[in-house]
Structure 1
Amino acid sequence: MATFEKLKQFEPGREAKTVLLLLDVTEKVNRNGGSYCHLLLSDGEEQHTATMWDVKKETYAHFVNNLIECVIKSDVYNNTLRFIVTKIVAAPEEFKVENFIISAPIESDKMYKALLDTAANYDGKDSILYKITENIFEKYKEKLLYWAGAKTIHHNCYGGLLYHLYRMTRMGLVLLKVYPLYKDVLITGIILHDIGKLKELKTSPLGAADFTADGNLFGHVFLGLEMFDEAVSEVKKEFDSISEDDAEKIRLVKHLIASHHGKTEYGAIATPAIPEAMVLNYLDLIDSRMDIYEKNKPSEAGTISERIWSLDGYIYSPALSLPENKNQK
């Protein structure tokens, strides 16, 4: 197969022809009433949004989820690298879509099973918390296997949501060996904290995500609480009665979902009131930031990135070899 240039190879001011996967087209209007489009593009390693001036969405919408050959130029605006597309045609048939899809590094089926197995180990398969987790996972399994974790910023790829939950759960298991926490509450809260993203986002089979109407109106925290309440109502029918301990555990997991953003100004409905909620908030922050560092780290050792606005700073690539982490998967 012919080679093509990756987006990270584009230095500011450089213009070249390359092949990319077009994931989405969004039409915008400038201050003078003219139309332009934002193009969500993937080169198989990174996703970037490029701008194409003086065009309407209808002109290129038929290319969405297909490979394009385009002329693209990079420059720096407000200390941020951006891309400008000036021409689009269909890519040569020799290029294959599967080589341009960004996906989590672990197979979705394996992550799905690992999360349910972990919940069973800490909750017990007959426990109400496991039954609630199982109810939601089985109901939304088809989506979970490919759903993105976000539209942009972090885990915005095929299987990204499961990968986010998987890595957070693994971190949680380590902390459970250090601190006296309610194990089943923490594990269930980690696994279900972002479940509302299944309704906040719509994700294409290629892993590209955008917000739904409900996502814009309510956000995934509120939507996740609705999904949790629905599962609780359904699962309760399987039990003759619910113990006071089980009712309290349900309340605590609901609090973890409601407070996992940490502060109300960051989208939390409540602030963490128990250690498990605080731990969840920090695990969420760690994994989201790690994904940003991993995706934006310069490929050349000893160099520093352009400004990363989501970090409000830069990323340096150390001139050292990173030891292999055999436990990563």
Structure 2
Amino acid sequence: MKKVFIGSLIEGDKVEDFFMIKSTDTKTDKNGNFYLDMVAGDNTGEMICRKFRATPDEIDMISVGEIFKIKGIVKEYNSSKNLNANQIEKVIEPDQINILDFVSAAPVNPEDMLETIKAYIKKIGNKEIKNIVIEIYRQYKEKLMYYPAAKSNHHSVKSGLLYHMMRMLKSAEALGTVYNNINMDLLYAGILLHDICKIEEMESNTLGIVSDYTMEGKLLGHIIMGIKLIEKTAEKMGIDREISVMLEHMLLSHHYYADFGSPKKPMFLEAELLHYIDMIDARVYDFENAIENVKPGEFSDNIWVLDNRNVYYSLFDKQDQLKLE
């Protein structure tokens, strides 16, 4: 039975407990010795875990998505927790563990999220736009239930892709009540399609753990793969070319910068909004995640995705705000 969780660990803690391996790489130190550079995780977070002077048997034994008993000590490096492992053992008796201790998942039931997604698809008034979305979602319904939105960083949890898109759709709907010049059909469709090919870009098991990127994912990436999918689907269905190209442009430009995979910046309003809604939800998730294991009045460790900022968990309670109102 697991007793120690990553969220509660501090520098100097001696650990002997179960962790799931999220990624692993075999490296060589300056003396030519092999070591394992891993990411170990549970349902409270992840941390770097290194096993120096790794033996060939240890290297062969470690595999992504499996649970191991790790003995070691917690060190702090670059303001982040690291586990220096002295011993790693494979779990022999599965009844020692509860898989829910190791899997991070979106806080909303995937079946409920899928129903919300379907409700937004119904809101799309343009039949051609709606038909493209329906056809593409028909292909990915099963995998959407568990796929994460990333291998690491924002929404890299079971059902994270659904959760990301659901929150984006709700944000878009709220914007639509303020600005009446938004083509909501385009915006909803752009949100629903912008990351859909992450399902083809990454290899994930049903626990939402990504083992690697696919060959196409490495060579093309989800943006290009998504554009090709829209173009192919639109041609097959005889969809108006302007609609297809506008949807393709929304995918092409949603990362905004060439260095991040977008050779063009958004060239119409809905494409611009897609980028910012995407960024807002990613940032909200990052801030939420940063303080998940932080006590009120304290700061998080350095958060790499937030430019190594320390996030403060305010003492100001939302209930106090409600009282003031």
Question: TM-score, normalising length from structure 2?
Answer: 0.88
SS in 2 for 1:113: helix
Work out whether residues 19 and 67 of structure 1, in 8 Å CA contact, stay in contact via their aligned partners in 2: yes
Partner residue of 2:257?
A: 263
Work out whether residues 65 and 209 of structure 2, in 8 Å CA contact, stay in contact via their aligned partners in 1: no
Amino acid at match of 1:8: G
After superposition, what is the alpha-carbon deviation per residue over 1:44-97, rounded to whole angstroms, capped at 9, x for unaligned?
122333222222686254664333221132222233332322212244633211
Partner residue of 2:305?
A: 310
SS in 1 for 2:124: helix
- Count of residues paired in the alignment: 313
Work out whether residues 19 and 69 of structure 1, in 8 Å CA contact, stay in contact via their aligned partners in 2: yes
Of 2-11 and 87-96, more deviation after overlay is shown by 87-96
Distance 1:229 1:97 in 2: 40
Give 1:234 deviation, angstroms: 2.6
> Using a 3 Å threshold, how does the CA distance of structure 1 residues 145 and 12 change in structure 2: closer, same or farther?
same
Give 1:320 deviation, angstroms: 2.9
Distance 1:211 1:121 in 2: 33
Distance 1:199 1:112 in 2: 19
Work out whether residues 70 and 89 of structure 2, in 8 Å CA contact, stay in contact via their aligned partners in 1: yes
Distance 2:33 2:22 in 1: 23
Identity in percent: 26
Partner residue of 2:173?
A: 173
Question: RMSD over aligned Cα, in angstroms?
Answer: 2.2
Of 75-84 and 57-66, more deviation after overlay is shown by 57-66
Give 1:162 deviation, angstroms: 1.1
> Using a 3 Å threshold, how does the CA distance of structure 1 residues 57 and 16 change in structure 2: closer, same or farther?
same
Amino acid at match of 2:304: W
Partner residue of 2:200?
A: 199
Distance 2:318 2:47 in 1: 26
Distance 1:323 1:29 in 2: 53
Amino acid at match of 2:314: P
> Using a 3 Å threshold, how does the CA distance of structure 1 residues 58 and 214 change in structure 2: closer, same or farther?
farther
After superposition, what is the alpha-carbon deviation per residue over 1:278-326, rounded to whole angstroms, capped at 9, x for unaligned?
11111111111111111121431100011112111111111133459xx
Work out whether residues 26 and 57 of structure 1, in 8 Å CA contact, stay in contact via their aligned partners in 2: no
Partner residue of 1:7?
A: 6
> Using a 3 Å threshold, how does the CA distance of structure 1 residues 3 and 79 change in structure 2: closer, same or farther?
closer
Question: TM-score, normalising length from structure 1?
Answer: 0.87
Of 221-230 and 20-29, more deviation after overlay is shown by 20-29
Give 1:257 deviation, angstroms: 0.6
Partner residue of 2:184?
A: 183
Residue 84 in structure 1 maps to residue 84 in structure 2? yes
SS in 2 for 1:307: strand
Give 1:168 deviation, angstroms: 0.7
| Partner of residue 106 from structure 1, selected from 108, 111, 115 | 108
Partner residue of 2:209?
A: 208
After superposition, what is the alpha-carbon deviation per residue over 1:190-229, rounded to whole angstroms, capped at 9, x for unaligned?
1100112112111122211132222221221111111222
Give 1:33 deviation, angstroms: 4.0
SS in 2 for 1:49: strand
Gaps of 5+ in 2: 321-325
Work out whether residues 158 and 209 of structure 2, in 8 Å CA contact, stay in contact via their aligned partners in 1: yes
SS in 2 for 1:310: helix
Partner residue of 1:285?
A: 279
Of 59-68 and 163-172, more deviation after overlay is shown by 59-68
Give 1:32 deviation, angstroms: 4.6
> Using a 3 Å threshold, how does the CA distance of structure 1 residues 279 and 58 change in structure 2: closer, same or farther?
farther
Partner residue of 1:218?
A: 220
Give 1:269 deviation, angstroms: 2.7
Partner residue of 1:151?
A: 151
Distance 1:234 1:40 in 2: 43
Partner residue of 2:54?
A: 55
> Using a 3 Å threshold, how does the CA distance of structure 1 residues 269 and 123 change in structure 2: closer, same or farther?
farther
Partner residue of 1:67?
A: 67
SS in 2 for 1:156: coil
> Using a 3 Å threshold, how does the CA distance of structure 1 residues 235 and 26 change in structure 2: closer, same or farther?
farther
Distance 1:103 1:302 in 2: 26
SS in 2 for 1:88: strand
SS in 2 for 1:306: strand
